[in-house]
């Protein structure tokens, strides 16, 4: 049986389907909606999206596995994606990954025992001029140094901000005040 998502999610995906000349274009927002409710792109999420769009699950899987913003495994409340591609790597991206690894003491894709954190390295996030950078949930943190990132993670733990994009509300959550895009400390 297909998993049941909220009435809000059902309504929103129907709205997205009407937005595009080809209904398949709604796969991506529908995946976001499913991820928002289920926490990650589970087999149920794939089935739900496939049924809503009217395509085969494998076609949804093709999209979900291509993009790193769709979490294929459960993640912590805060999921850190460190860019490892060339521009960021040249600016010290490796030190950023090492810093996250050391602070959390976990392996990539492993959720910390308190459920707060997980991390992974990803390819270019499209912010190459402000590397090294990372994305925590759906917010960018740029021009990083290990020290800056540690301060940001400390603040996140303390303030517990909402850093997620809501596909249902079409809005970003509440960011970390004092850390607007490109102006880290």
Report the 10 Å Cβ neighbour count for 151. 14
Contacts of 28 (CB under 8 A, 6+ apart): 63, 67
**String of contacts with ligand FES for each residue 20-59, x by CB under 6 A:** ----------------------------------------
Check residue 149 for interaction with ligand FES (CB under 6 A): no
Check residue 145 for interaction with ligand FES (CB under 6 A): no
Half-sphere exposure of residue 101, counting CA atoms within 13 Å on the CB side?
11
CB of 163 to ligand FES, least distance (A): 18
Angle between helices 57-66 and 27-38 (to 10 degrees): 80
In the set 28, 82, 88, 111, which binds ligand FES (CB under 6 A)?
88
Contact 13, 29 (CB under 8 A): yes
Contact 34, 9 (CB under 8 A): yes
CB of 107 to ligand FES, least distance (A): 22
Check residue 127 for interaction with ligand FES (CB under 6 A): yes
Q: Which stretch binds ligand FES (CB under 6 A): 30-38, 79-87, 97-105, 166-174?
A: 79-87
Check residue 143 for interaction with ligand FES (CB under 6 A): no
Sign of CA dihedral 31, 104, 88, 159: positive
The number of residues that bind ligand FES (CB under 6 A) is: 12
List of residues contacting ligand FES (CB under 6 A):
83, 85-88, 124-128, 131, 133
């Amino acid at each position: 049986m297909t998993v049941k998502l909220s009435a809000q999610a059902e309504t929103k995906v129907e709205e997205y389907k009407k937005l595009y000349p080809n209904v398949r274009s709604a796969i991506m927002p529908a995946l976001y909606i499913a991820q928002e409710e289920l926490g990650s792109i589970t087999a149920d999420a794939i089935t739900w999206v496939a049924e809503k769009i009217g395509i085969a699950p494998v076609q949804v899987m093709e999209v979900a596995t291509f993009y790193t913003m769709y979490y294929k495994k459960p993640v912590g409340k805060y999921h850190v994606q460190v860019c490892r591609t060339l521009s960021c790597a040249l600016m010290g991206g490796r030190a950023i990954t090492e810093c996250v690894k050391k602070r959390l003491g976990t392996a990539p894709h492993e959720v910390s025992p308190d459920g707060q954190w997980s991390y992974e390295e990803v390819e270019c996030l499209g912010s190459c001029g402000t590397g090294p950078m990372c994305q925590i949930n759906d917010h960018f943190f740029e021009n990083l140094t290990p020290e800056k990132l540690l301060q940001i993670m400390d603040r996140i733990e303390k303030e517990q901000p909402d850093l997620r994009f809501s596909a249902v509300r079409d809005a970003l959550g509440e960011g970390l005040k004092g850390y607007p895009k490109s102006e880290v400390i």
